[in-house]
Amino acid sequence: MKTFSAATLLATAGVFALAGCASTGNITPQYVPPSTYQNYDCQALSQEYNRVNRYVESARSQQSSLSTSGVGVGVSAGRWGISPNISFGVGKSNNTKARDVKLSRLYGERDAIVQSARIQRCSFVNGIKIYGE
């Protein structure tokens, strides 16, 4: 009978917790060949899977940067007479293209890790789905 260490059980529990939130939304994963991870054993694949999931969560939570949305030039009248004024519109950018490209690559890596782990019959991937399943 095989015994499992506490670290192995903890890593497996972490994988299952992360697997529940492993959806890609509307971002299609880039293709990463599973052979990239063919020299990894099950423990290394599990660690790599957890590492990639941390990057995914970090990228998902990135906020968009501030961007200028317009510049206005005008004339205003006030207590001190007529004077020119310049205004800048600053707002939150909705451009998430760079983040989506990063997530697409990370999703592809995660799928490749899962496929490689399935080939090696690693138990931590039981129940984990890849894109399109």
pLDDT tens digit string along 38-70?
999 999 999 999 999 999 998 888 764 545 555
pTM of the complete model = 0.60
**Whole-number Cα distances in Å, 14 to 49, 103, 124, 125:** 10, 20, 10, 12
- Of 20, 3, 8, 102, the closest CA to residue 46 belongs to 8
- Cα distance between residue 62 and residue 60, in whole Å: 6
pLDDT of 97 > 90? The answer is: no
Q: How confident is the model at residue 13, as a pLDDT?
A: 41
pLDDT of 7 > 70? The answer is: no
As given in the structure block, the two tokens for residue 68 are: 């200028």
User: Contact, 115 vs 129, CB < 8 A?
Assistant: no
Higher pLDDT: 41 or 73? It is 41
What is the domain partition of the chain in residue ranges? Answer: 6-62+97-125
pLDDT tens digit string along 102-133?
999 999 999 999 999 999 999 999 999 998 88
Q: How confident is the model at residue 72, as a pLDDT?
A: 62
User: Contact, 77 vs 86, CB < 8 A?
Assistant: no
Instruction: Supply the DSSP string of 39-58, one letter for each residue.
Output: T--HHHHHHHHHHHHHHHHH
Spatial CB neighbours of 4, under 8 Å, sequence gap ≥ 6: none
Confidence band for 95, pLDDT divided at 50, 70 and 90? low
Q: What is the CA radius of gyration of the chain?
A: 24
Residue with tokens 């006030």: 78
Higher pLDDT: 120 or 5? It is 120
